[in-house]
């Protein structure tokens, strides 16, 4: 929880706010930083992101 999430270019996009779903394939709710425009956030839907 509260770990920083980055995209493939290592740009910080937010933090992990919640973990849910099945134990063997969990989903993470990422709370985005306010400085990230909505258009960039929408572009990350279904993209792989990483925990730093």
What tens digit of pLDDT does each residue of 3-38 get?
A: 999 999 999 999 999 999 999 999 999 999 999 888
Q: Yes or no: say if 32 and 41 are a contact pair by the CB < 8 Å rule.
A: yes
> Given this model, what pLDDT does residue 15 score?
96
Instruction: Return the DSSP state at 38.
Output: H
The pTM is what?
Answer: 0.79
**For residue 52, is pLDDT > 90?**
no
* Whole-number Å distance between alpha carbons of 9 and 21: 27
**Cα three-residue angle 8-31-6, rounded to 5 degrees:** 15
The parent domain of residue 14 ranges over: 4-51
Alpha-carbon distance values, 12 to 15, 22, 25 (Å)? 9, 26, 23
Domain count, the chain: 1
Phi/psi of residue 27, nearest 5 degrees: -115, 150
């Amino acid at each position: 929880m509260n770990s920083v999430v980055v995209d493939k270019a290592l740009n910080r996009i937010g933090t992990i706010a919640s973990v849910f779903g099945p134990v063997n394939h969990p989903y993470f709710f990422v709370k985005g930083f306010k400085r990230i425009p909505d258009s960039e956030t929408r572009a990350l839907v279904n993209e792989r992101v990483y925990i730093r």
